[in-house]
Structure 1
Amino acid sequence: MGSDAVDDHLENQGRRRFLTATTAVVGAVGVGFVAVPFIKSWNPSAKAKLAGAPVTADISALAEGQRLVFEWRGQPIWIVKRTKQILDLLPSLDPRLRDPKSANADQQPDYVLKGDYHFRSIKPQISVLVGICTHLGCAPEMVAEIKPEPFDPDWKGGYFCPCHKSRYDMSGRVFDGVPAPFNLLVPPHHYADDNTIVIGVDPGAAKTGAA
C-alpha cells in the first residue's frame, strides 16, 4: 500500500471515530468521571450549522467529574467539570508538555489564558475543548483517573488518542514526544449566565450583540 493510500486509510479511520464521538456518549472513564447523555439545548438547522451558528449549552446539571458533548460546526465540543485534584496537578505536568503555556495563539482564544494558563478556561473548573486529535482528526478518549496506565506509568488524567497514542492533559495540552503537533483547540465561547455556555461567540462579541 502506497504512502498516500495509508494516509487516506488512517484519515478515514479518524473520521469514523469522529462521527462516533459526535453521535454517542463517551463511555464512563475513571473513578468519579461518568458520562451523561448527549445533549443539545438548541438544535440549529443544517443551514445554520454551515454558517457556524452558536450553540447554547445548559450545564446546570453538570456534576464534578462529568463531561457533556455538544456539536458545533460539525465538531464535538467537550464540556468537563474538573475536580480540584485535577486542577492542583496540572502545573506539575508543564515539563512533560510540548506547549505548556499555550503560546500558539491559533489554538485558543486569548481570554482563556488570562487567569492561570494551566487551566485554559474562563472558569477554572470548567474546561471547553474541541474533541478532535490534532494529529489526524481521531477522537481521543477521556482517561481521567489518576493512576498508572499502559501508555503512561505516571498518568495524571487526561485524554489519550488510541489511533497513534497521542496524549493530552485535562486542559487539552499535548504531551511532548507524541505524534499530535498541537494542543486541543478551545472554541470561542462565553457564559450567558452561571449555568449557560454559548459556544461559537466570544465574550466581547456577546456584549456588542454580534454573533
Structure 2
Amino acid sequence: MGWGVIQDLGQVPEQRRRRLLAATALLAGVGGIAAMYPLVVSLKPIERQGSLAEPLEVDLSALPAGAMLTLEWAGKPLWILRRTPEMLATLSGLSGRLADPHSSRSRQPAGCANRLRSLKPEFLVLQGECTHLGCIPIAKLQSGAGDGQADDWPGGFVCPCHGASFDLAGRVFKNSVALLNLVVPPHVYLSDSRLLIGVDRSPA
C-alpha cells in the first residue's frame, strides 16, 4: 500500500500509527531547525565583527578640552570626550541619581571601573550606543537648562528613542528605560596623546 493522506489515525494499525507519529515529530523538529537557521546565520556577522575588529590608533593631540571626537570601531560609533575640569566636577555627588553609580553591572575594562570610568581623568572613551535598544544618544554636554534639559542637568547624553539619559562618565540615571551604563570599549594609551582602541592591558 502506498503513502496517502491520513485523515483519521484511529483507522491505522497500532504499529504503523506509532511509526507515523515518530516520522511527524522528526519532520517537525527538522522544520524548526530549518526555520531558526536564517536567524542564527544573521547573528554571526555581528559576532564576528566585534571579535575580529582591528585595533584603532587615535591621535588625541588636536582634540581641544570640552570637545568630543566621533569615530567608528567594530561597526559601532565610538566617542572620545576630552573633559574639562568643570565637566569632571559635575560627576561628584551624582551617586544618588544614578542606577549603577559604581559600574558594578556595566561593561568596561577593569582599569576603568572607577567613578570617572576612564584610564586618564580627562579622556572618556565610550561606545555610542544606548544600552536599552542600541539607539545613538545625543551629546548634551552643557550643564543646566541651556540645551533643552532641566535646570539640574549636569551634562551628558540623552537617547532620542526612549529618553534614557547618561552623565559625563556614561553612567545611566535612575528612572531610565536603560539599566546599564554606556559601554567603555577596551583601550590603552601608547603615550599621553596616542590611544589604541581594542586592546586591554588592565590586570586580570
Does the pair score TM above 0.5? Answer: yes
Task: Please give the secondary structure, in 2, of the residue aligned with 1:91.
Answer: coil
When Rg is computed on C-alpha atoms for both structures, the one with the higher figure is: 2
Residues 1:173 and 2:167 aligned together: no
Amino acid at match of 2:167: D
Q: 1:198 aligns with which of 187, 190, 196?
A: 196
Gap regions ≥5 residues in structure 1: 1-46, 206-211
2:140 aligned residue: 143
1:67 aligned residue: 68
Q: Deviation of residue 79 (structure 1)?
A: 0.4
Amino acid at match of 1:171: A
Task: Please give the secondary structure, in 1, of the residue aligned with 2:182.
Answer: coil
Q: Distance in 2 between matches of 1:152 and 1:101?
A: 24
Does structure 2 retain, via aligned residues, the 8 Å contact 1:82–1:126? Answer: yes
Q: Distance in 1 between matches of 2:202 and 2:88?
A: 27
Q: Distance in 2 between matches of 1:204 and 1:119?
A: 16
TM-score w.r.t. the length of structure 1 is 0.69
Give the direction of change, closer, same or farther, for the CA distance of 1:111–1:166 in structure 2 (3 Å limit).
same
Gap regions ≥5 residues in structure 2: 1-47
Q: Deviation of residue 48 (structure 1)?
A: 8.4
1:12-43 CA deviation, whole Å, 9 max, x = no partner?
A: xxxxxxxxxxxxxxxxxxxxxxxxxxxxxxxx
**Greater displacement, 119-128 / 153-162:** 153-162
Q: Distance in 1 between matches of 2:126 and 2:161?
A: 19
Q: Deviation of residue 165 (structure 1)?
A: 0.6
Task: Please give the secondary structure, in 1, of the residue aligned with 2:91.
Answer: helix
Q: Deviation of residue 195 (structure 1)?
A: 1.2
Q: Alignment identity in percent?
A: 42
Cα RMSD between the aligned structures?
A: 1.9
Task: Please give the secondary structure, in 2, of the residue aligned with 1:152.
Answer: coil
Q: Deviation of residue 108 (structure 1)?
A: 0.6
Residues 1:126 and 2:142 aligned together: no
How many correspondences in the alignment? 155
Give the direction of change, closer, same or farther, for the CA distance of 1:204–1:121 in structure 2 (3 Å limit).
closer
Does structure 2 retain, via aligned residues, the 8 Å contact 1:134–1:181? Answer: yes
